[in-house]
Amino acid sequence: MKKTITLIASIVLMMSVSKAQYLADFEDLTLVTDSFYLDSASTPFESGQIIFNHDWTYSPWGDYWSNGFSYSNMTDSVTSGFGNQYSAKAAKGHNGSANYIVGQSASIVKFYIVGWDFYSQGVYVTNATYTYNSMRDGDMFGKKFGGPSGNDPDWFKLNIRRYYNGILQNDSIEFYLADFRFSDNSQDYIVKTWEYVDLSTFTGFADSLQFSVSSSDVGAFGMNTPAYFCLDDLVISPIIIGLNENKTSLSNVNLSPTIVDNTATLSITSKATEEATISVLNYLGQIVKTESVQLKAGKNSFSNNYAELTSGIYFISVNTANSVNTLKFVKN
């Protein structure tokens, strides 16, 4: 982290570094006891100003959660099989908390404050009960890790990659959720407690993280090991580059309403006459609508039509030469 900040400081003369941290611990999400989040509209959810995708698939054979994350407080660390796909083997969140998330491969975590660069600090990970028991015992799809002799060099790995400016970067961080490659079988393991993964070793900033899993147990139709994992207490920190917060030219930016049917009014109070770019972004950070406007000193109002947007979470970003302001809104 110190190397990263030093490098930026040598390149950018005007820089403001925010010491804020954003923590997704999922305790701000409400669940009844032993339950989990399902939304057939594929609505992502948010914790600590970090967004987690949640994908739902409709099919002739039944509708199901097909990708992304679900938050959970399930405590079943015993039952094997697909019917228990929402439980962590640890039977609780990190540090004894109630809530955590279960992810499928490959799922996206989005840092939505547009105009800020982030570095990832760390996250706690463990196995889902479904995946752990499959590797421990074997099931109708996946093998028992180690095989009959215990000598098979099996492994199950979490792979974390970063997006920056919407582009998937080449560097990655790997964490083995199970490893049977040791010459001494007594060292073989399957993770069942919350373990910390240091994300600060990424070589650059991120605006999103991709979590995926891979396994040594692969068949004709792909990976046989259940592609589930659990996360908790994800921490990121922003670094704001090229923005002196004491000299921002916009004193007030508001959007009304914040739950939009078709139209909403954007109010911008500017200290000077200047140009601004107003962009609408989806929860993945992709620009879906943009326009340039001329601001006058004082209050400016713009009525915008968002009828063409599909339902979901969006962000409106107002950028001038000296400031970046970002607001969240929901399209019905």
Q: Which helix (H) or strand (E) holds 6?
A: helix 2-11
- Residue 223 tokens read as 């990976």
Lowest-confidence region among 148-152, 195-199, 245-249, 282-286: 245-249
- Residue 70 tokens read as 């679900």
φ and ψ at 183, to 5 degrees?
-70, -30
At residue 248, the pLDDT reads 54
Interatomic CA distance for residues 77 and 260, integer angstroms: 42
Model pLDDT for residues 76-112, shown as the tens digit of each residue: 999 999 999 999 999 999 999 999 999 998 899 998 6
Interatomic CA distance for residues 53 and 109, integer angstroms: 7
Domains annotated for the chain, with CATH where assigned, are 2-241 (2.60.120.1350), 248-331 (2.60.40.1930)
At residue 131, the pLDDT reads 98
213 exposed, middle or buried (CB, 10 Å; 0-12, 13-18, 19+)? buried
At residue 284, the pLDDT reads 60
Looking at residue 128, what DSSP letter applies? B
At residue 167 the predicted structure's pLDDT band, cuts being 50, 70 and 90, is: confident
- Residue 62 makes CB contacts below 8 A (sequence gap 6+) with none
Mean pLDDT of 266-275: 91
Statement: residue 255 has pLDDT above 80: yes
Statement: residue 193 has pLDDT above 80: yes
φ and ψ at 270, to 5 degrees?
-115, 145
What percentage of the chain carries pLDDT values higher than 70? 88
Length of the chain: 332
Asked whether 108 and 101 are in contact (CB, 8 A), the reply is no
